[in-house]
Amino acid sequence: MAETRDLGPLPNYERPPVIETVLGVQFDRLPRFKNAHLGGFWKTLSQEEWPTVTDAPALPTQVERFDAGAQWAAGLRLQLTGDPSCRLRISNDKGDRMIQLQNNRLHFNWLGQGRQDYPRYPKVRKGFVSVLDRFTRFIIDEDLGEFRPDQWEVTYVNQIPQGTVWTTPADWGFFRPLAGVPTVEGVIEGESFSGQWHFVIPGQRGRLHIAWEHGKGQREGKDESPPEFVRLTLTARGAITGKADGTRPILDGLNLGHETIVRSFGTLMSNDANAYWGLKHG
């Protein structure tokens, strides 16, 4: 068992740059689950509160392994299969929540897109638990098989616009692992960078994956350059081991993922960046 120590209170930001969070659980495929059950589950929800559905390709199975054959690099995976399964995305009337369901995954999203303040983890987790409880009841009512969760997952998407904690790529040292994009005076100037980092959670309880992307938004005026931003995505996931006892093992995993992401974000940012986002303690 991994040694635990008191790391103090979690970092708490007044103005975090997070624009989306996702809490999810992966489970063994249900033997009697068909695509028609996706629509059947939607009908168990309030149609006024959850009026919009869209189809999407099924997400691939993700397993954080630590044996000799483990590979953490995601990359592009081409899957050839005769399985016609798909993923249903159910959006609420305000456009700030989404349920994603397929036969082996259930995700609950908060969608801020820079327009709304982050409602904080306990509130998002409460929404996830409500949807999970409804889904497990649906499985029993429809006799779809036994719900066996095998992995938890937490994702935070942060969007950091140009003109906040950075002006040019040379300022990207606010994220400590990157330390800025190098410039050779009179020869080259840093323009862009995209990359990934992967970290093991102590005790092999899971991994933290960090992805850095530099992009441009929509042009605001005819003569204006499109705004630039950095999108920093942190995803923590890990196995649910042993026989699950209700939702407790899932929530324990989500809590670990949330703590891993928040503590890592606070530590990997510069003091100036943390001050800009209003870090209270950490």
Here the tokens at position 176 are 């400590």
**Helix or strand or coil: residue 184?**
strand
Average pLDDT over residues 160-179: 93
Q: In the numeric block, which tokens belong to residue 80? A: 């050839």
Q: How far apart are CA 210 and CA 12, in angstroms?
A: 20
Structure tokens at 62: 């993700």
Q: What is the dihedral of CA 259, 237, 28, 98, to 10 degrees?
A: 70
pLDDT at 141 over 90: yes
Q: Show the tokens assigned to 113.
A: 């897109």
Better-scored residue on pLDDT, 137 or 84: 137
Comparison of pLDDT for 229 and 281, the residue scoring more: 229
For residue 80, the model assigns a pLDDT of 41
Q: Please give the single-letter amino acid code of residue 183.
A: T
Over residues 186-216, the pLDDT tens digits come to 888 888 889 999 999 999 999 999 999 999 8
For 179, list phi and psi in degrees, rounded to 5: 60, 35
Describe the strand order of the beta sheet including 228-239 as a list of residue ranges: 52-57, 86-91, 97-102, 105-111, 18-27, 149-161, 228-239, 206-216, 195-201
H-helix or E-strand spanning residue 128: helix 121-141
pLDDT at 7: 76
Whether 244 shows a pLDDT value over 80: the answer reads no
Q: What are 53's strand-pairing partners?
A: 90
The pLDDT > 70 percentage for the chain reads 86
What does the pLDDT average to over 59-71? 81
Separation of alpha carbons 20 and 234, rounded Å? 11
- Give the per-residue pLDDT at 74: 46
Mean pLDDT value across residues 51-58: 96
Please determine, for residue 82, whether its predicted confidence score (pLDDT) is greater than 50.
no
Handedness of CA 242, 243, 245, 246 (dihedral sign): positive
Place of tokens 């820079």: 114
14 pLDDT above the threshold of 80: yes
pLDDT of amino acid 231: 97
Domain boundaries, the chain: 12-23+152-282, 29-59+84-147
What average pLDDT does the segment 248-277 reach?
Answer: 96
Can you state the angle between helices 121-141 and 248-268, rounded to 10 degrees? 150
Bridge partners of residue 171, in order along the sequence: none
Q: What is the pLDDT of residues 92-126, one digit of tens each?
A: 999 999 999 999 999 999 999 666 788 999 999 99
pTM of the model: 0.90
For residue 3, is pLDDT > 60?
no
State residue 4's pLDDT score. 53
* The token pair that represents 180 in the structure block: 């800025």
CA distance 141 to 137: 6
Q: What is the DSSP letter of 175?
A: B
Report the pLDDT value the prediction gives residue 83, as an integer from 0 to 100: 54
- How distant, in Å, are the alpha carbons of 29, 121, 122, 258 from that of 255? 24, 9, 10, 5
Mean per-residue pLDDT over the chain, rounded: 88
| Per-range mean pLDDT, top range of 115-124, 175-184, 247-256 | 247-256
* Structural element, H or E, at residue 276: helix 271-276
Q: What is the CA radius of gyration of the chain?
A: 20
Looking at residue 221, its pLDDT comes to 60
Confidence of residue 77 (pLDDT cuts 50, 70, 90): very low
